[in-house]
Chain A
């Protein structure tokens, strides 16, 4: 079945530490890939997206993500986490010609001082 998997439900990191959030997808072709962030009480905001080309993409707020075709992964990274990064992060895929963004179940990030 086609799916988007975020294996980590909740991650806790210390402020200043590095971060990696995992995302795997299972589709026949490479879809459009997105990471969205949801701050408490807010809607979702796009962090970055990948369509083609360079497999390392830069986003807002110092985030980056790397697409690895061989692993069907699109992991989100940040070298140094800030307290304001505490939020829920969603990986999403958009199949060419499809009518929907398919979301993962989300990873909640807690940042401790």
Chain B
């Protein structure tokens, strides 16, 4: 099994719909992250969590929310999807600053 699993892998949704992207990890790490990848912009941090009770906004959190259901699970929600949220979304986990980050395979989200 993959260290970091994201579901779904692909999703098309309509403007205004609520959608949840799920992430689970088997590394046993406390830290989990959600990134968004857009062509030419690299990866930008949406939210991060250092443990179940610690949730923090990243640089582009507007329009998103997260839930850390357990150490291994970190979900990203788009409350009311809009077309400019069309992107590739990655979940990642690491053991702390300076350590290797392990990434999921990504969720390609299209908002029409």
Contact = CB atoms under 8 A, between A and B. Distances in A.
B interface: dominant SS: strand
Interface centre among A34, A43, A46 (most CB of B within 10 A): A43
Interface string B85-105: 000001010000110110111
Query: Which of the four size classes fits the interface of chain A?
Result: 20 to 34
Interface residues of B, number: 24
Interface in A1-39: 4, 9, 32, 34, 36
Contacts, number: 59
B97 A32 contact: yes
B98 A105 contact: no
11 contacts: A4-B42, A42-B106, A44-B43, A44-B92, A46-B100, A51-B98, A95-B97, A97-B97, A99-B97, A103-B44, A105-B42
